[in-house]
Amino acid sequence: MFGIMMAWFVYMTPSQEEMERMREERRVQDSIRAVQAETGILPDDINDLPGAQITGSTPDAQEMRDQLGIFGTSAVTDTLYYTIQTPFYTAVFSNLGAGPVEFTLNQYNKWDGRPVQLIADSSRSTYSIGFLSAQNYNIETNQILFAQQNDGNGARLAEDGRQNYELRYVLELEDGSRMTYIYRFNAINYDVILDIEFEGIQNHLGDRNIEFAWRSPLNTTEQSRASEALYNGAYVYSGGVLENYNLSDAGREESIITGSVDWLATKTKFFTQIIKPEEPGTGAIVTSEVTGDPTSELTNHNYATALRTRVPETGALRLNLYVGPLEYYTIREFAYNAYDMVDVGYSLLNWFSKPFVKWVIIPVITTLGDWTGNYGLAIILFALLIKIALYPLTKKSFESMAAMRELQPEMKALQEKYKDEPQKQQEATLKLFKKAKVNPLGGCLPNLLQLPVLVTLWKFFQNAIEIRGESFLWANDLSAPDVVLNLPFEIPFFGDFVAGFVLLMTAAMVVQMQVSGQGGAANPQMKILQYVFPVMLLVIFNRFASGLSLYYLVYNVLSIAQQFMINKKIDHVKMMEGIDKKKAREMEKEQKQEQKKALNAKKGK
């Protein structure tokens, strides 16, 4: 097996010419990154800094009228920007569409240390109302200049003592009808309320049906865009069911959802934007686009959502908006089931995984993290608690495997004795199990009962924003691989680096299998598995979150200690049983001698 692996690595190693080409490409990329670092500009998010100047061309008045009819008659000609800063985010709004063009999260950074800016490059509002006008024009409000009602160019909440703030924009048509946007901000969370007031302007709509949309893709925030894109997608909560829209191949799809819609969202791995109407919408539209090979770092994964609703008879429409992290305690206050967008288990296990994550894992992990001040230590303590909770099951499993190991010589003798009579061999083996009071499935069933817990933890640690950006020992980010060695080539399914905790986890697994006796000579298949299984996990886990590898490392080390204790206990029982049998034989011998003496004495008398 080792020879095959080495041959495969040698075969996959690039030639000298390919290595030189790769080095040249890397030099070019490094040069580009150096220039970008000096200028502070990256190609995928030019406007990363709060309040950055955004430039864009505005069509002239005649062009606007030709394109939008009466909705192109706005008297406003200048593009203005307004910055709202709270303890949680810094948002830049534009009067071109009356909405945000930047949304920077103050408490989160990207992998390169810069603040997370979620809205992709745009000179116009990412929020837009679309409808068909009475003049049969397709209108998108992010193409129209609104009049900004607030003076100045920004406001800071909390720092100047203000806890709430309103930002107003007005679109007034030539006949005096108006559309007013009122954004309501606070200094305590990521929630934003948007009130839209229609004053006569609904008379210029073809009907009262409108679409309120998020048009911009969300920026990527993690180092590996391809890995992060696996978790990108759009979601619609309708009729009590959460539907996920995610493209696995290149292409473009538009999905139309009919019926009552409670909320809809787009998300990346750790962040999301949500639109939740005060009254359920009448439908939704989800647009999904993947521009190339999904595994490529250059491929864009773009998702947009639009809420279908009607202008109320009162002319007032209220929408609740959220742009922020997928952190459980933060997002559940906005929508109690919005955290279900986070992948914490497979569909068959969601009945267990979702409540287990919400009611056990997250409360314990966050409490331990706050108590220790380090999420690496929190993961270690959490692994200890899980091990204690599962101790009865693992103890039963280990004892059953140990008992089966003790029966191996007798089972082998039965195989030799009845090698030509399989039915008698089976009957004799079952009698042996019954006599020894051993269940051959005793080592499997406890492990199967543990499976939902272990699978849930495996999914959770890969998607938990709680450990994102948290460091421990040499790992800078527990939500990303802890690279300790970069390779000059890429190994299929493994990557072009080696992760530290994965190596330690693999070594611990080999030791655990040795201690449990699964590599014993009495079972050649298990002996092979002793090496094959850890190598498989090494390949699989190398590109996963280091927090996940750390958890399983600690879990395996604790399993080794537990196995030592059980083995020692079994050896002690065997020793005591041996002593008891020896004493019984000695007592029996003494009794026979006494009986013999008594008999001789009687004969002599």
Q: Is residue 592 part of a domain?
A: no
Same domain? For 398 and 459 the reply is yes
Angstrom distance (rounded) from CA 413 to CA 429? 10
Instruction: Provide, for the chain, the percentages of residues in helix, strand and coil under a 3-state DSSP scheme, each rounded to the nearest 5.
Output: 45, 25, 30
Q: What is the pLDDT of residue 570?
A: 62
Q: What is the pLDDT of residue 390?
A: 77
Q: Is residue 297 part of a domain?
A: yes
Which of 302-311, 413-422, 540-549 is predicted with the least confidence, judged by mean pLDDT? 413-422
Same domain? For 323 and 472 the reply is no
pLDDT digits 0-9 by tens, 3-27? 565 565 555 555 555 555 444 444 4
With H, G, I as helix, E, B as strand and everything else as coil, classify residue 474. Answer: coil
Q: What is the pLDDT of residue 536?
A: 81
Residue 310's pLDDT band (boundaries 50, 70, 90)?
Answer: very high
Angstrom distance (rounded) from CA 585 to CA 202? 103
Same domain? For 153 and 253 the reply is yes
- Does residue 205 carry a pLDDT above 90? no
Same domain? For 434 and 413 the reply is yes
CATH number, domain of 198, equals 2.70.98.90
Same domain? For 419 and 404 the reply is yes
Which of 44-48, 376-380, 484-488, 579-583 is predicted with the least confidence, judged by mean pLDDT? 44-48
Which of 32-41, 92-101, 112-121 is predicted with the least confidence, judged by mean pLDDT? 32-41
Q: Is residue 45 part of a domain?
A: yes
- Does residue 180 carry a pLDDT above 50? yes
- Does residue 105 carry a pLDDT above 90? yes
Top-confidence residue, 309 or 133: 309
Same domain? For 311 and 364 the reply is no
With H, G, I as helix, E, B as strand and everything else as coil, classify residue 42. Answer: coil
Mean pLDDT (whole number) for 509-537: 68
Average pLDDT value over all residues in the chain: 79
Contact call for residues 164 and 185 (beta carbons, < 8 A): yes
Same domain? For 431 and 493 the reply is yes
Residue 65's pLDDT band (boundaries 50, 70, 90)?
Answer: low
User: Nearest-CA neighbor of 543 among 474, 490, 600?
Assistant: 490
- Does residue 166 carry a pLDDT above 90? yes
- Strands 81-85 and 154-156, by their bridges, are parallel
Residue 371's pLDDT band (boundaries 50, 70, 90)?
Answer: very high
Alpha-helical runs (H) found in 418-543 = 422-436, 445-463, 500-515, 524-541
Q: Is residue 437 part of a domain?
A: yes
Q: Is residue 524 part of a domain?
A: yes
Q: What is the pLDDT of residue 148?
A: 93
Mean pLDDT (whole number) for 518-541: 67
Residue 516's pLDDT band (boundaries 50, 70, 90)?
Answer: low
Return the half-sphere exposure (C-beta side, CA atoms, 13 A cut-off) of residue 479.
Answer: 19
- Does residue 83 carry a pLDDT above 60? yes
Same domain? For 12 and 91 the reply is no
Give the residue from 289, 309, 342 where a domain finishes. Answer: 342
Angle, alpha carbons 482-485-489 (nearest 5°): 115
Total domains, the chain: 3
Mean pLDDT (whole number) for 344-353: 81
Same domain? For 44 and 24 the reply is no
Same domain? For 83 and 11 the reply is no
Q: Is residue 602 part of a domain?
A: no
- Does residue 289 carry a pLDDT above 70? yes
Position 604, amino acid: G
Mean pLDDT (whole number) for 160-168: 84
Q: What is the pLDDT of residue 64?
A: 60
Q: Which residue has the tokens 């849930």?
A: 456
Which of 452-456, 493-497, 535-539, 580-584 is predicted with the least confidence, judged by mean pLDDT? 580-584
User: How far from 328 is each of 374, 383, 570, 586, CA to CA, in Å?
Assistant: 19, 21, 45, 69
Highest-confidence range of 3-17, 248-262, 389-403, 583-597, by mean pLDDT? Answer: 248-262
Residue-range definition of the domain harbouring residue 50: 40-342
Q: What is the pLDDT of residue 24?
A: 47
Same domain? For 276 and 161 the reply is yes
Residue 200 CA, chain-centre distance (Å), reads 46
Q: Is residue 581 part of a domain?
A: no
Provide the whole-model pTM: 0.75
Same domain? For 149 and 246 the reply is yes
Q: What is the pLDDT of residue 420?
A: 72
Q: What is the pLDDT of residue 26?
A: 47
Q: Is residue 577 part of a domain?
A: no
Give the residue from 342, 363, 388 where a domain finishes. Answer: 342
